[in-house]
Amino acid sequence: MDPSGATHVDTANAGAGAVGAVGVRIQQTRRLPDFLQSVNLKYVKLGYHYLISNLLTLCFIPLIIVTLIEASQMNLNDIRQLWLHLQYNLLSVVICSAFLVFGLTVYIMTRPRPIYLVDYSCYRPPDQLKAPYGSFMEHSRLNGNFDDSSLEFQRKILERSGLGEETYVPEAMHQIPPTPSMAAAREEAEQVMFGALDNLFANTNVKPKDIGVLVVNCSLFNPTPSLSAMIVNKYKLRGNIRSFNLGGMGCSAGVIAVDLAGELLQVHRNTYAVVVSTENITQNWYFGNKKSMLIPNCLFRVGCSAVLLSNKAMDQRRAKYKLVHVVRTHRGVDEKAFRCVYQEQDDNGKTGVSLSKDLMAIAGGALKTNITTLGPLVLPISEQLLFFSTLLVKKLFNENVKPYIPDFKLAFDHFCIHAGGRAVIDELEKNLQLLPIHVEASRMTLHRFGNTSSSSIWYELAYIEAKGRMHKGNRVWQIAFGSGFKCNSAVWQALRNVKPSQNGPWKDCVHKYPVKILA
- CA dist list (Å): 390 to 45, 61, 365, 404: 15, 31, 19, 6
DSSP helix, strand, coil percent of the chain (3-state; round to 5) = 55, 15, 30
Is 418 catalytic? The answer is yes
Report the alpha-carbon angle 375-436-299, nearest 5.
90
Handedness of CA 85, 87, 91, 94 (dihedral sign): positive
Q: What is the DSSP letter of 503?
A: T
Query: How far apart (Å, rounded) are the C-alpha atoms in residues 472 and 493?
Result: 8
User: Of the residues 289, 298, 304, 330, which is catalytic?
Assistant: 330
User: Of the residues 122, 218, 251, 487, which is catalytic?
Assistant: 251
User: Of the residues 340, 447, 474, 488, which is catalytic?
Assistant: 447
User: Of the residues 289, 340, 414, 438, which is catalytic?
Assistant: 414
φ/ψ of 124, rounded to 5, equals: -115, 110
How many CB atoms lie under 10 A from the CB of residue 238? Answer: 11
User: Of the residues 340, 418, 487, 488, which is catalytic?
Assistant: 418
Q: What is the largest CA-CA distance in the chain?
A: 110
φ/ψ of 245, rounded to 5, equals: -125, 115
Angle between helix axes 381-396 and 11-53 (nearest 10 degrees) is: 90
Q: In this structure, are residues 436 and 402 in contact, taking their beta carbons and an 8 Å threshold?
A: no
* Residue 309, burial from CB neighbour count under 10 angstroms (0-12, 13-18, 19+): buried
- The DSSP element (H or E) to which 19 belongs, if any, is helix 11-53
Residue 480 pairs in a beta bridge with 488
φ/ψ of 189, rounded to 5, equals: -60, -45
Query: How far apart (Å, rounded) are the C-alpha atoms in residues 186 and 191?
Result: 8
Q: In this structure, are residues 387 and 402 in contact, taking their beta carbons and an 8 Å threshold?
A: no
Smallest Cα–Cα separation from 387: which of 403, 408, 371?
403
Is 471 catalytic? The answer is no
* Residue 187, burial from CB neighbour count under 10 angstroms (0-12, 13-18, 19+): middle
Query: How far apart (Å, rounded) are the C-alpha atoms in residues 3 and 6?
Result: 8
User: Of the residues 199, 451, 474, 488, which is catalytic?
Assistant: 451
Q: Give me the active site residues, please.
A: 251, 330, 414, 418, 447, 451
